Amino acid sequence: MRLLRDLKLDEVFVLDIETVPCVGNHDDLHEMLKELWEHKCHALRREKGWISHHDHIAPLPDTLHAATLFEQAGIYAEFGRVVCISLGRFRTAADGSVSFSVKSFYGHDERELLREFSAIISQRPQFRLCGHNAKEFDLPYLSRRILINGLELPPHLDTAGKKPWEVTHLDTMELWKFGDRKSFTSLSLLAAMFGIPTPKDDIQGKDVARVYYEEKDLPRIARYCQKDIITTARLLQKFRGEEPFADDAVVYANEETVLRRA
């Protein structure tokens, strides 16, 4: 890929986010949001083919009730929130060796972690943002939540009015599509194809809300998020025809979330 061969790795931020529903359960929603979530669920049921346009009066199975579907609310920026952002960058030494620095922003104060994240990337306006399915999920989600929290969009996310070729984000899933718009390939599958350690050796995305609200284990979520950006960074190197950095080349800014492999 010519684009990747010419890419300056040292000017790339690799990122991933973890999100949860805005509250722990459906009953805790404000009444207005409950009503709006019901409208969202009705659209989802029809979109997914769970009901037809004429079935909305028929009794719904329990699995399609708004309260049950609320476990999916975290994937929608209007009904979810960010609890962790992991950010990584490549660093190339004089001898050509590559290391990867990792930092996670996580906590219960979404506005503060978004502010810290925005401040960091705003210091490097020339950097490109990279993630797996980031163009469809992570970057739009971050942009929406930043605005909802009353913060200013960092230059990287302020894409309104820009032409497509002026938006320089990288997406490893999009790169793997090679123009095939029907294709969705998970990070785990690509890691397996390229011989990269799986990032899903503990929890998966569907477990994040439970770990946050029930286990109250934010460091575990941060570790999971860090594994995703390490895998994405290694995949980017593979796409360039390079050998990925080793585990001992990863440098962690958050000592409490250091990944320790057995």
pLDDT digits (tens, 9 = 90+) for 56-71: 545 556 567 889 899 9
What is the per-residue pLDDT for 61?
61
32 is a domain residue = no
Pick the closest to residue 152 from 162, 166, 142, 137 (CA basis).
142
DSSP state of 134: I
192 is a domain residue = yes
Element (DSSP H or E) covering residue 104: strand 98-106
Could you tell me the CA-to-CA distances from 242 to 52, 112, 235 in Å, in that order? 50, 37, 9
- Alpha-carbon torsion 26, 28, 31, 37, what sign? negative
50 is a domain residue = no
Q: Which domain holds residue 123?
A: 2-22+79-257
166 is a domain residue = yes
12 is a domain residue = yes
Element (DSSP H or E) covering residue 13: strand 12-21
239 is a domain residue = yes
Q: Over the stretch 161-189, which tens digit does the pLDDT of each residue have?
A: 888 878 899 999 999 999 888 778 999 99
Query: For residues 140 and 203, is the Cβ–Cβ distance under 8 A?
Result: no
User: Token match 């306006």: residue?
Assistant: 125
Element (DSSP H or E) covering residue 170: strand 170-171
- 204 pLDDT band, cuts 50/70/90, is confident
180 is a domain residue = yes
Element (DSSP H or E) covering residue 92: strand 80-92
73 is a domain residue = no
CATH of the domain at 188: 3.30.420.10
Number of domains in the chain: 1
Distance separating alpha carbons of residues 199 and 79, to the nearest angstrom = 26
What is the per-residue pLDDT for 261?
32
